[in-house]
Structure 1
Amino acid sequence: MINGYENTLTDLIQLLESSRRAAARSVNAIMTATYWEIGRRIVELEQGGEKRAEYGAAVIKRLSEDLTGRFGKGFSKTNLEQMRRFYLQWQIAQAPSGKLDLSALAQGFPLPWSHYVRLLSVQDLKARQFYEIGSITKFQLQIDSFHDFGVRLLLK
Structure 2
Amino acid sequence: MKYFKNIEEKIAAVILVAMISIVFLEVAVRPFGIALGYLTEIVPDLFVWLVMLGSAAAFNSGMHLSMSALTDKLPRKAAQVIFFIGALVTISFLLTIGISSLRIIHISIANNETNALGIPQWIMSAALPVGCFLGAIRAVQFMMRTRKSATVNN
Q: Same fold (TM over 0.5)?
A: no
TM-score range, shorter chain: 0.3 to 0.5
TM-score normalised by structure 1 residue count: 0.33
TM-score normalised by structure 2 residue count: 0.33
